[in-house]
Structure 1
């Protein structure tokens, strides 16, 4: 399975580090150039970007567009791909995990990222692979496996339903058959990456006519999450996911 590394042109150091990591782990990979405010399509002031329950920031739009390019790559290849941002460190067991899931037909999306947030997941692990079904999640978009059917669903959802910050875009896609690697096999190399992903200067203004629309969308989204949580709570557990203990030696402190 190929690893698709989303990398901004200005982050040559991170790309070099990813190259070292991929060599150390024996992974086949390619770079996906991150979108910029100059290359993003449609432009950031287009109504395409105003369908979530608040106005997205420029950083969020660029980040979404970058992941969208990776989804298109997966769909066109007809093969699942591991999509990661360039600040991600992968565990030593990632190669074996990718081999285990490569031919699976049930999953459409598998997040492999560690998180301090609790997730609503199945009570037991999958019979064949160390992962759990996800019923409700909020994070994990910096490192995930996407299958062609999952890519098709995400692309269609962006065109027909809503565009959102990448964490919400994936976690709110409830028709996506999602799993969580357990233990998690990816984490951020630097804690600052969790806060500064695709950081750009922002000037976001909302006129009074739009405030009510966004508020109604936000209320509807929270109601949908609440209903989903209650529906799956009897067959699931609400917990954090364990993290792998073995990581490649890239000269980083973890």
Structure 2
């Protein structure tokens, strides 16, 4: 199966787009740009800014709905797609994975990313399958960081169904809390964000500044503060219950990265 790639990119982030064009050219791959600029972001911000465990910023809500547009593309095309943010840095190991994607079945969501030793993911003790030297392992918790993942149509439908029920959130936390997903992790991870290069001792091909800032966040008091606190507690309880239920078959640990970054 020839899997297609979509990269979410702000029109003003021309340096990031240029980096992706160079990176994909070296890998011998193509991608489609999904513009992160959308006139409905302000409308969505006003509607959903207080709908998560804390007030969300305009940028956080925009990022969520940009990923949602990519999920809708997956459903419309009826095939898995690799969804990347424009600061995704790929190793050459991703080529082996993409060439063998048809061998992966019963998967909704495949995380390609690792984010360092401080981010531990709850993964199965043994991989489900192996493609050359790449392990595909069941992922039970820890889908934070969404610089890159592969999403199947059934997984996209599950995420969109959750949105239709009125749920949104910080996009990686939102996916992390969707336990209906049959989620898996690639290891060694063939993708890191550019700002993780220094952590791994890699030369950084492009220095970036996050567009997701704290602007728009606000302090709340009274009933609103209590409502946010109750949501946070409910979210943490849900994570704890999931960890307890899967403790017998999973371990919480950092994910190793590929040794094949250019």
TM-score of the superposed pair, with normalisation by structure 1: 0.90
* Correspondence 1:217-228 to 2 at 5 A: 217-228=231-242
Separation of aligned partners in 1, 2:65 and 2:193: 21
- What is the deviation of 1:98? 1.5
* Correspondence 1:1-254 to 2 at 5 A: 1-36=3-38, 38-40=39-41, 42-46=43-47, 48-102=48-102, 104-116=104-116, 117-129=119-131, 130-191=135-196, 193=208, 196-199=210-213, 201-248=215-262
Cα deviation, 1:93-131, whole Å, max 9, x if unaligned, reads: 111102222353311000101122011101111234421
Other structure's SS at 2:247 match: helix
Separation of aligned partners in 2, 1:96 and 1:225: 33
Separation of aligned partners in 2, 1:18 and 1:241: 24
Separation of aligned partners in 2, 1:35 and 1:158: 20
Separation of aligned partners in 1, 2:21 and 2:10: 14
Separation of aligned partners in 1, 2:107 and 2:237: 26
- State whether residues 138 and 171 of structure 1, in contact with CA within 8 Å, keep that contact through their aligned partners in structure 2: yes
1:197 and 1:146, CA in 2 relative to 1: closer, same or farther beyond 3 A? Answer: farther
Separation of aligned partners in 1, 2:108 and 2:260: 26
- What is the deviation of 1:154? 0.8
- State whether residues 141 and 170 of structure 1, in contact with CA within 8 Å, keep that contact through their aligned partners in structure 2: no
CA RMSD in angstroms comes to 1.9
1:45 and 1:161, CA in 2 relative to 1: closer, same or farther beyond 3 A? Answer: closer
Q: How many residues in Structure 1 have an aligned counterpart in Structure 2?
A: 245
User: Runs of 5+ in structure 1 lacking a partner?
Assistant: 249-254
User: Runs of 5+ in structure 2 lacking a partner?
Assistant: 197-206
TM-score of the superposed pair, with normalisation by structure 2: 0.87
Separation of aligned partners in 2, 1:225 and 1:200: 25
Other structure's SS at 1:83 match: strand
Other structure's SS at 2:7 match: strand
